[in-house]
């Protein structure tokens, strides 16, 4: 049985595209069953549509509380019988129900526990790494819980910080590592759940 994924995103969908490409060329035995975006103008929605993947928009501002917002997301993905929920640049907190505990993955563009937490995303992470003078960075895939960038680590990939790096050049190198790390973590979790990836 192929592992079924719900992908939650808020932006351009590069991580989604990486997964779709790997599925299409046979490097990842998975199916993206649904894409949910918190942003109605996210290009990730177009990437999903081009791949024939069902989409939904659930905006945080349409809900009074984070709990009700999260329940709306759960209602959408619950219709697709997914095995894993993949957070792919999802900028809102998803307070998933107990039945999804151990099935929600997040990727972070740093070597957690360093440079994690609320407000540490995208270029902010890479700026912090460079400002600290670190010699390496990387990415982390972990099982999510209800705290930002917290939960058991599944996969980490390291990349060097090179002389003259900018947040943009470092981000590019880290994203290349992310493209390997997320599929690896999905395969690992599929094996634990007894499905193929």
What confidence tens digit (pLDDT) does each residue in 64-85 have?
999 999 999 999 999 999 999 9
Write down the H helix ranges in 43-197. 43-50, 66-78, 123-132, 167-193
Q: How far is CA 160 from the centre of its chain?
A: 22
Q: What percent of the chain has pLDDT over 70?
A: 98
Domains and CATH numbers, the chain: 3-193 (3.40.50.170)
Catalytic annotation, pick one of 108, 126, 142, 146: 108
Interval 17-22 mean pLDDT: 98
Q: pTM of the predicted model, to two decimals? A: 0.94
Residue matched to tokens 């595209």:
17
Distance CA 111, CA 139 (A): 5
147 pLDDT more than 90: no
126 catalytic per annotation: no
């Amino acid at each position: 049985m192929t592992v079924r994924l719900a992908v939650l995103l808020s932006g351009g969908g590069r991580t989604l595209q990486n997964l779709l490409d790997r599925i299409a060329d046979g490097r990842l035995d998975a199916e993206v069953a649904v894409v949910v975006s918190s942003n109605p103008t996210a290009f990730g929605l177009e990437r999903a549509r081009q791949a024939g993947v069902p989409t939904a928009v659930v905006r945080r501002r349409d809900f009074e509380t984070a709990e009700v917002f999260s329940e709306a997301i759960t209602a959408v993905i619950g219709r697709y019988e997914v095995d894993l929920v993949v957070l792919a640049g999802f900028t809102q907190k998803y307070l998933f129900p107990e039945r999804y505990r151990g099935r929600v993955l997040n990727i972070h563009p740093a070597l957690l526990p360093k440079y994690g937490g609320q407000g540490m995303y995208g270029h902010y992470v890479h700026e912090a790494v460079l400002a600290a003078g670190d010699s390496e960075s990387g990415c982390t895939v972990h099982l999510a819980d209800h705290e930002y960038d917290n939960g058991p680590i599944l996969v980490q990939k390291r990349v060097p910080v090179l002389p003259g790096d900018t947040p943009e050049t470092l981000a590019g190198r880290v994203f290349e590592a992310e493209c390997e790390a997320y599929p690896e973590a999905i395969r690992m979790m599929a094996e634990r759940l007894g499905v193929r990836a």
